[in-house]
Amino acid sequence: MMNNISNRKILFVHFNGFNGASGGVRRTVQNLAVCMRYGKCSTYQTGDGNHLENSMFIGSNECTEIVAILKEGKYDSVFFDTSLYGEAVCHIKNKCPEVKVIVHYHNFEKRYFEDEDNLLNRVPLASFAANCERLASMNSDVRIYISNEDRMNIRKEYGICSGKDIVIPPALPDSFMPMPVMASEEPYVLFLGSDFYANIEAARFIIKDIAPYITMKAVIAGKGMDTALEPASGNVEVSGFVPSLSTAMAGAAAFISPVFSGSGSKIKIAEALMHGKYIITSEESLAGYDTKDMAVTVCRSADEFIKAINSLDTSKTFYPENRELFLKNHEIFNLLQRWFPSF
């Protein structure tokens, strides 16, 4: 049990729930742990918590309610779990200037929504998201990013000139369970991810541009993937929700991540590190990660992915240096104990 390291009283405002396997939910849980480490913390969830677009853009009634809560004097800080709460950030800074406003960036939201709007061919949200993010950036006292790349891009985009910037890398509790690997098991490379637009794009890239040219099976798994993707054939295996991450990871010769869209961090990289997997990935998937001591190959094209996969030593399924890197930099309790910025 970790003791609080300050006596702050924090209102934690969020739209993600605290149960789920997505990277966004994992990061929200990490942020709540950060706040609880700093003092007493209460939560306030916006929207209905089920429909993303109804929850992540805060309404005027919710802004008014949060201001009323803060006016009671029970909190000295408010932590906004997303930079999409810009209107609320601006409102609170005007109405409650004595309250410290902390904003967390799950992504560089302007870029994220530009990618998503283009891919899904829907009514654009990017301009609205950018305005919210600009307001959050210009009116916050502390800004927390997942990667230094997001920090630099956001500062450049919005011309931030005041407040404090902090980068906290992605982190998870250690749930690694060593599993036996059968000598007769067919070698495979693994891609894990839910039916999020960038993951679907990556999975289709694997099926079309990588799998036909590699010497082992490509396994794609994650919540909703079995229905989001067209039926696969050949040496591709697609499945839905994975009940046991350790079982799915155990026999993989490598974890692959050809994700080229989106912003923020890819939490599955931390999971692969936790399980000691060799990583073959795009540069975009490594946002928030230090690759200095990592067993990794960074690829920029299908040909580079194919070459890296076909060069794998399929008799080796565990890379201790990656496991050690996880424990050092991305295991949440070690992170909470070892390194904390000052809010």
Nearest-angstrom CA–CA distance, 83 and 107: 8
> Of 46-50, 201-205, 334-338, which gets the smallest average pLDDT?
46-50
pLDDT tens-place string over residues 228-268: 998 877 899 999 988 888 889 999 999 999 998 765 568 89
125 band by pLDDT with thresholds 50, 70 and 90: confident
Helix, strand counts (H, E) of the chain: 14, 12
Q: What is the pLDDT of residue 51?
A: 41
The helix (H) or strand (E) run that includes residue 220 is strand 217-221
Q: What is the pLDDT of residue 274?
A: 97
Q: Flag whether pLDDT at 54 surpasses 50.
A: no
Nearest to 282 by CA among 253, 311, 257: 257
pLDDT tens-place string over residues 221-239: 998 999 999 887 789 999 9
Nearest-angstrom CA–CA distance, 298 and 154: 25
Distance, CA of 67 to chain centre: 29
Helices (H), 206-266: 225-228, 245-250
Residue 274 in contact with residue 175, Cβ under 8 Å? yes
pLDDT tens-place string over residues 283-310: 989 988 999 999 999 999 999 999 999 9
